[in-house]
A = this chain, B = another copy of it.
Amino acid sequence: MAPPNEQIVLLTDGAASLLAAKTATSILRYRGENVVGVLDRSRAGQTTNQAFGVGGDTPIIASLSDAPDATTLTIGIAPPGGRVPDEWRPILIEAAQRGMKLVSGLHDFLCDDEEIAAAAKASGAVIHDVRRNRERDLAKAVGVRDDCLRILTVGQDCSIGKMLTALELTKGLKDRGVDAKFIATGQTGIMIEGDGCPVDCVVSDFVNGAVEKQILANQHHEVLVVEGQATISHPAYSCVSAGLLHGSTPHGMVMVYEVGRENVHGVDHVPLQPLPKLIAAYETLAALRMPSKVIAIAMNSRNVSEEEAAVERERVRAELGLPVADPLRHGVGELVDAIEALRAEVIAPAEAAQ
């Protein structure tokens, strides 16, 4: 788990939109108690709730000097190209000079930046490049404990709610007394959970193995809810999604989609695949390693009204014959019911047979 006593400042300076500040909004939602401020010069003076719709009265500040007790500076947006913008450099160096921990999920590592690394070395500041890894284990398909249920969130696109759904499902299971664990597979998930593997930055030969290692290390839990990445139909990222699917060998999948989204985020000329076709493809690919079904649909309805969401929910329930819910709007009760039913089906008989 993540350190409980951190005092985090999130850096979102220059974020064009709420979607671009996905890391910041997720940390506000799931580790908000550790966030003392958001550094964003264009929004300074507002609360995070006013600017990003989450985080309550957490202040947005214009300078690190406004947060003298902060222990950690976490980069909260993904800048274009994954590189550190020049206007951040004085802020990052100031934090390093103060001895603050620097946390970054960028593909370019802060520890490779000579000036920032030198400032950190001088003060003893820790640099945590979340995506940095030396994963070199090949998957061995050694088999996981029979009584450990694996659920993978999959999706129609990137940036659609797979991490959020996995976190909410984990919480929903825990609320019912199930020993569930969230398996983080991306930089934001790792910042929230405190462990996991940044699969999109692992050398491709070792992706399946890195995921299998996470599963084996956590197989003492009753249910593992694995954070999905991208989608197997994504023009750029299908490699990541396929390795994650086969490395985690899920018993069941929860499919996430967004109401109204029609094209691939960032590759706008490519249409999304229809859900029935995508679900069939996921089940076909999964079955090459282990049979697995999509057991529920998580709907992201942030861009439509309460009424429109209700109509859409009924439409998709009827079309796919599966439970459907927006985790933030409707709660995850129906989706957790589907996981519990699957668990009774695939785990309980094995235990009874012993």
A: residues with CB less than 8 A from B are 82, 107, 136, 138-141, 199-205, 207-209, 232-247, 264, 267, 269-270, 273, 277-278, 280-281, 284-285, 287-289
Beyond A203-B203, A267-B140, is A209–B232 a contact (Cβ under 8 Å)?
Answer: no
Partner of A204, one of B202, B269, B287: B202
Partner of A242, one of B203, B239, B280, B289: B239
Beyond A140-B267, A204-B204, is A238–B278 a contact (Cβ under 8 Å)?
Answer: no
Partner of A246, one of B82, B140, B202, B239: B239
Interface of A, secondary structure class, is: helix
Q: Report the bound CA distance from A264 to B138 in whole Å.
A: 14
By a CB distance below 8 angstroms, the chain B residues around A136 are: 82, 107
Beyond A202-B203, A204-B199, A269-B141, is A288–B233 a contact (Cβ under 8 Å)?
Answer: yes
Q: Report the bound CA distance from A287 to B107 in whole Å.
A: 30
* A139: nearest chain-B partner, CB-CB: B236
* A201: nearest chain-B partner, CB-CB: B203
CB pair B267–A288 under 8 Å, yes or no, is no
CB pair A207–B239 under 8 Å, yes or no, is yes
By a CB distance below 8 angstroms, the chain B residues around A202 are: 203-204
Q: Tell me how many chains of this kind the complex includes.
A: 2
CB pair A205–B209 under 8 Å, yes or no, is no
CB pair B278–A284 under 8 Å, yes or no, is no
Partner of A288, one of B141, B200, B239, B278: B278
By a CB distance below 8 angstroms, the chain B residues around A107 are: 136, 203, 205
CB pair B238–A288 under 8 Å, yes or no, is yes
A-B pairs with the 7 shortest C-beta distances?
A: A239-B243, A242-B242, A233-B288, A141-B235, A139-B236, A207-B239, A200-B205
CB pair A141–B270 under 8 Å, yes or no, is yes
Q: Report the bound CA distance from A36 to B238 in whole Å.
A: 43
CB pair B246–A273 under 8 Å, yes or no, is no
CB pair A208–B238 under 8 Å, yes or no, is yes
By a CB distance below 8 angstroms, the chain B residues around A269 are: 141
A105 to chain B, nearest CB (A): 12
CB pair B232–A285 under 8 Å, yes or no, is yes
By a CB distance below 8 angstroms, the chain B residues around A267 are: 140-141
Q: Report the bound CA distance from A104 to B136 in whole Å.
A: 18
* A283: nearest chain-B partner, CB-CB: B284
A294 to chain B, nearest CB (A): 15
Q: Report the bound CA distance from A243 to B237 in whole Å.
A: 7
A91 to chain B, nearest CB (A): 25
By a CB distance below 8 angstroms, the chain B residues around A281 are: 284-285, 287-288
